[in-house]
Structure formats: structure tokens, C-alpha cells
Structure 1
């Protein structure tokens, strides 16, 4: 499973590299629904920062929606910070006279929540970019590229695919649908494979790995639940054009949901040696247009693209 990835969140990269057109309507809808409270969309900071210097009226509208949402978040965080500081002060006063379990726990919780709120406020106010600003997790949004009517188009989509026609409860029933296993493309993913293909640009991907597998020790010597997060990065430093499937989900009285899944396959030797059993599939640049224009009557051609993948060597290290 591709548990997390550091993606190209700035749509301008797609425009410069592929001559793609931004679907401004979908970007505006995403930010509008979040600002209105109609959705709880999780959007990477880098995706917001891409609108920091708007050039068009549409971009200025999106920047205003981002500013409105962030101002509301700032107010909520400041209010929570005040509340938790009071809670901490009350707990510390109690502990000065008598050590109780309740006061100790209240002190711990307040301290943790203060640190979390301060970190969120710092991120909202920060203008200097950091690598983590582009990192997505399941349920987060990312720009992906599709082709419609012969045009390359960039749209924001959620990284957990809900196939059109399936109930919203599938998000909970099948929480792993941010990845589409290659060996299940004609099973669970049959409605999309050969019909709705996309590409995500990825710099780095992250995987949860059992510590015992990473260290090559007997599993009996470790807690089976003890995991570490590894960062995998192509040694050539090049972007990965990751093969994806996507869907537009619609339902009465519900906003449309655009969502996608990254296709995964058996891992290359160096990823397997690090203790992980799946890997995303970066396709070659010359195959992108064919991948984005799938022919459901010729799935063999689609499998051939997945087989003829880019094959960088993946260096790994413990994630920061």
C-alpha cells in the first residue's frame, strides 16, 4: 500500500510540464464547499499556496476562499488555545496542593493540545514552504491529470477512491481504496480500469513497515504491532508519473466527489528487502497519453504500459 506520498501539489507544474489545462471550476468548488462547511476536505498547504499570487479573477476568487477558511481556522485555534491554557493552569494549581490522577491527566492533555494548536497556527501563518506541505495521506486531496476530449486536464481529487454508483459507506467498509491492486483491476476496479485513468506526480512515497522485517530479525523478538515509516525516493531524483484510476461519484442532495486510487504491484527487490510487499507503478512519460486514453476493449495494452514502467532504484530511510 502507498500509505503516504509527497506529491506535486502546485498545478502550475502540470501546466508547464504537460501543457495541461486547470479545471478551475473544480478547484473553486472544492475550496468553496470547504469554506462553506459543506465538506471537510483535507487540502495540503502547498495546494493552497499555489494560489498565493493569483493572475486571474478565478484564481483571486480561490485565494479569497482559502483566506476566509484559514481566518476561521485561526479564530477556532486561538479560542481552543485559550481554553487549553486555562485548563493547564487549573490543573497545575491543583497539583501544587495535591497530586491527583485527574489533574495529572488534565495537565498532560492540555499540554498536548496546546502544542498541537500552536503548531497548526504556525503553519497557517508560515509563508516559507516545507516538504511536508506537499505530503498527502488517504483522504487528502491532490491534483491529478486526466484527458477529456483530447485535452490534458488537472483536477483536485481525494486520495481514496469511491467508485461511482457505490454507497458512501464504502469509504469505511473498504478503507484501503486509496490503492488499487494490479491483481484486482478486473475485479473490484473493473468499472474504472480501461475507462477512467489518471496520473499523479510523486517525488517521494512512504510505507508502514514492520520493524522486525526492516531489521531482518525474527518476528518473535518484536511486538507484531511495532511499525516504522520508511521514505522511499528514486535515486535518480526524477518525478514519478504514478498510474491511477479515478471516479466521479454523484448522489441526490450530495456534492459530487472526485476521487482516485494509485495502482500498486509487487515491489522491486530493494523495497521488498526493506520489508514492504507493495509498490506504486510509475509509468514512462512517453506512455502517459496512451494511459490517459484507455481502450476498454484492449486491456492488454494497458497492462503492457504497467509492465513497461519506469524502474528507478528506490533508496530508503526512516521518515522524519
Structure 2
């Protein structure tokens, strides 16, 4: 059995306290270890380890920590640019040991702090992980037991979506999702639902013609043997009965995907990066500087992310 590697993320956010809470909740039922500076975990019961395998022999009430020295202290809610380089190094270190773990789970980072403190040149975690892995294109999935959604376009203005949504992008998104459902989720014959862009999926062109570039992509992929439905009206895709008819939903833009999953699974949604040569999950929340150190942060999403990393690792044969 291989443990999950959990990166510390921004050390003055809620990531470290959530790691401690997750260990208390999971014990040894799901082995994981934290890569962090032990100085930042004052008051927590921890055990320093030297290799990922060492995490398997630690008592259930103790958090295994693979030490990584940071330049600064960690005062909850008070970002220190001196720690930015350490945050980035921890992510790279986790990737370097990907063959020794079942998966990587990343605690939240703050991009502005990393940019100000270390000149971080990436829009976020996902792009940095893709660069470390040497992968040109990855896909973001938000997942819960009730629903998996994949936005084809992500952090762009709604007005930019029609031009950004090219047939090449849509095809790549569907192919990466289809492959991941087989390899990482153990679904032998994935069923994928694809949303339209416009109300009523355009209703034959009377409410928009963007679906005209979606339909040929779906037809071509169906000819390759994929089970695809759509383009579908997004307003009828996410009720309970509709969700039984597919394994993942491809959406055309950010809110079309994230509103339903955050409505259905706000506390236990998981961010999954598809298309990497290793498993990567993360909780679906940020650093929450405003509540850091107060002991009130909810660990549900991190626990779900750790569990999903372990399950996906097992499906991929990494356990």
C-alpha cells in the first residue's frame, strides 16, 4: 500500500489545520502524509518521516510529516512572501515522488502571495503541475459521489466563451475525460453528457447557433465508439433522475458546471486534474485567511479529496 502525499499549500491558510483534522478523522484507514515545515505545526501531534513509506507505520492519532524547511514563520491569516518559494518547492517535491505514492492531494495556495514572493509565473496549481509533468493540456473535473462535471472553458469572461470554445478544445476535453473515467475511476464504458451553450441547447438555432460547432464533434467521437448524449439543455441535466444517465457531464463554461455541483455537494466536492501522469486532487475551497487559526474550518472537502486520491490511485494500480 502506498500513502497519499498531501502538500501543505499556503501555510498561513487553513490547509495545515485541516490536515490535522483529516488525520484525526481518518486515522490509519487512509494512509497519507503531509509535506510541510514542522515548525508551522506547533501544538499538533506529528511524527517526522524520511520517506513516503514511513507514513504507514505511524500511530492513528499522529500526523506523519515529511519535513520541508521554509524561510519564514507561519502566523495564521498573515501571508509572508518569504514562504512563497517553500510552497512552490513542496509542490515540485510531491511530483518528484509521484511513483512512491498512490496520489497527490494539494492544499490551497494563494497565487498572489506566490507571485509577489517568488515570481510564480503560472495562473495556478493546475498549470504548474502540468508544466512539471511535461503535459500540454489537462482538464479540470469537480467531483462528488453524486455528480462529476468538467467545464470546457474555465476562468474567462462569459463573453469570451463562444470564441474560446473551439472544436479542438471540446474534442480534447471529452477525450481526456473519457480516458480518465476508464483509467482513474474504473468505469469500463463511460457515458458522458454534453451540455449545449445556449438556453434549450439553442432550440434548433432559434436561441443561438453555438451548438452547430458542438454537434459535429460529438458525432465524430460517437463514430469512434464513445457513448455521448447532447448537446443537452443545461437546465434539465442535473436533477437526480438525469444524473443516473451519465458518469460525467461536460459543460461549456465555468458556472454552468460549478453551480450544480456546489449546490449538490458544497462541503465535499473535490477538484481533480485529469490528463496528468499521476493522480492529483484538491479540496474545492481556498486558503480562507479570514478563518485561519480559529479552529472552525470544515475538513470535509479535504477528507473527500484524500479519499478520492486513494481510490483513483487504486483504480490506476498505484496502491
Same-fold status (TM-score > 0.5): no
> How does the TM-score come out when normalised to structure 1?
0.24
> How does the TM-score come out when normalised to structure 2?
0.24
Higher CA-based Rg: 1
Of structures 1 and 2, the one with the larger relative CO (CA 8 A, separation 6+) is: 2
